[in-house]
Structure 1
Amino acid sequence: MVLVIVVAVLALLAGLLANRHLRPRLITADDNEGMAVKDLVGPLLTLTVLLLAFVLVTASGSYGKAEVASRGEARALDQLVETAEYAPAAQRARVQADAVCYARAVRHQEWPAMADGKGSAAPSVWSTDFRRAFGEVQGKPVFGMLVAADSKRSEEREERLTQATASIPSAIFWFLLATLTLTVVALGICLPRRNNRGQLITLALITALLTTTLCIIRDVDRPFGGIIDVEPTAISEAERQADRDFLINHTAAELPCDTDGDRRRATT
């Protein structure tokens, strides 16, 4: 970091010194002629576009990983429910009920929290209960399959929570905003003062495009909140299937959680 700053400053000083002392010896024409402001705006605009494109690709990659993790978690949960069919009746019912409650907790509590880059402790209540149920079938062939499916679910959830946090540091975002501002101002300075309707419209369009790109970057970098977000469609489907399997031999009243995935309080 320090090296980059030092080299940039030295390059700027070298350019200014060359302009002051070397240029008069090389140029014989009028010294007032040279690069105009509009000649310097071109590279600045190119730099701004390249930076926005690079950061947009990075943010899009984070969004894609979040969507893949969400689907992977739902598939692992569905596999866990299907594997529980090979367990004894008591453990099968417990795992299926916990799967329904886990999916509800993810959908109703953790999903809204991820809009702010946070998680929720509610799903962990049911993942802990998974392991307790697994302990009751330890030593049986189904034990290894249940543990493998739950490990996959845990990994996908961890990846989902990781992608919920912004992948682009705030410093980079503010740098992009400053670069955009400087570019637009520089373009405005280069506009003619008269007969400039076409140029004004073009500047407005360029400003709108650059601003929209930056807004998209900001939105996509937070894949679980905003306009472009990952919906809990996959986990909702996993919940529906787990609920269907559980209700084959039980009633909804036997589920240990409410509709939001919170554990029911014991009634006397």
Structure 2
Amino acid sequence: MSQAAQALAITLAVALFAAAVVLAKHRFFPPDPADEPREDVAEYISMMVGVLYALVLGLALVSVWETSDNASGHTQAEAGALHQTYLVADALPPEGQTKVRAIAEQYARHVVNAEWPRMAGRQDLGSEGWTMLGQLRAATRLPANATPAQQIAAQELLSQLGTLDEARRGREQDAQSSLSPVLWVGLILGGVLTVAFMFLFGIQRNVTHIVMVMGLAALITFLVLLIHELDSPFGGYLGTDTSAFTRYFPVAA
């Protein structure tokens, strides 16, 4: 089963469970007309809880969305700089051209096959990638008899390597970023509390109560699952994939 189907199944299961609880409440604890005057207080408290929970949801969504967007941007910038390094190497002397291209291809394979699984598991990437970047810089050094065109190409290569270095640092930071545990506690407890307040109302019509609770429970479950997926910027159904690198380099998994 795909992750999208799993998320849909979980959302539906939560909504059906909420509906079953509503039916049980109306069956065993029917609304008491004598409690109606107290509904104004319950409605006010429920409204305040709902507003506060909406703020927590918004904060969590913005946080994970920003991390996911940064991860995609850093990956695109890193892959683009590596590709430009590979192309500009044409202007280097034959020996330097061969070295730069070989290391660039090796770096792409390392990122796709070694670093990506580690990032999905929030593991340390190690120093091998940085060692390859150092080798790339060393390969751009020119002999004393280099032509002006080769010198210009070497400067361009250093510029691209600087961009690559910065993007790589950003990618490493994005891979270690995660939503605060405090926000996760607020999302789970706030969602449970928000749905639980729906049972304080003495709604006479069962169908109306069921629809309201099912809709609220399904929406909260969907949003929490969405936040969970976006909280893994390099893994999961919505995470950034390796296509930015494999588009330019034929990497075999």
TM-score, length of structure 1 as denominator length: 0.72
Q: By percentage of residues, which structure has more helix? A: 2
The match for 1:229 among 216, 236, 239 is 239
Mean alpha-carbon deviation: is it higher for 152-161 or for 39-48? 39-48
The match for 1:203 among 213, 230, 233 is 213
In structure 2, runs of 5+ residues without a counterpart are: 1-36
Conserved? CA contact 1:134–1:143, under 8 Å? yes
User: How far apart are 1:136 and its partner, in Å?
Assistant: 5.0
Question: For 1:187-245, what per-residue CA distance to the aligned partner results, in whole angstroms no more than 9, with x for missing partners?
Answer: 123254x64232122211101101111111121121111121111111112213xx8xx
Counterparts of 1:159 and 1:138, CA distance in 2: 35
- 2:248 aligned residue: 238
Is 1:100 the counterpart of 2:105? The answer is: yes
Is 1:132 the counterpart of 2:142? The answer is: no
Conserved? CA contact 2:39–2:201, under 8 Å? no
Mean alpha-carbon deviation: is it higher for 217-226 or for 127-136? 127-136
Counterparts of 2:228 and 2:185, CA distance in 1: 11
Q: How does 1:70-219 map to 2 (within 5 A)?
A: 70-121=75-126, 122-135=128-141, 137=143, 140=146, 141=151, 142-192=153-203, 195-219=205-229
In structure 1, runs of 5+ residues without a counterpart are: 1-31, 244-258, 261-268
Counterparts of 2:202 and 2:94, CA distance in 1: 78
Counterparts of 2:135 and 2:232, CA distance in 1: 31
Conserved? CA contact 2:229–2:236, under 8 Å? yes
Counterparts of 1:33 and 1:185, CA distance in 2: 17
The match for 1:51 among 49, 53, 56 is 56
Counterparts of 1:166 and 1:201, CA distance in 2: 37
Conserved? CA contact 1:118–1:161, under 8 Å? no
Conserved? CA contact 1:137–1:143, under 8 Å? no
Task: Name the CA shift for 1:166/1:139 in 2 (closer, same or farther; >3 Å).
Answer: farther
Larger of the two Rg values belongs to structure: 1
Conserved? CA contact 1:165–1:222, under 8 Å? no
Number of aligned residues: 211
Question: For 1:58-82, what per-residue CA distance to the aligned partner results, in whole angstroms no more than 9, with x for missing partners?
Answer: 2111111111111111110011111
- What fraction of aligned residue pairs are identical, expressed as a percent? 23
Task: Name the CA shift for 1:34/1:139 in 2 (closer, same or farther; >3 Å).
Answer: farther
Mean alpha-carbon deviation: is it higher for 53-62 or for 94-103? 53-62
Looking at both structures, which has the greater relative contact order when contacts are Cα pairs under 8 Å and sequence separation is at least 6? 2
TM-score, length of structure 2 as denominator length: 0.76
Task: Name the CA shift for 1:33/1:51 in 2 (closer, same or farther; >3 Å).
Answer: closer
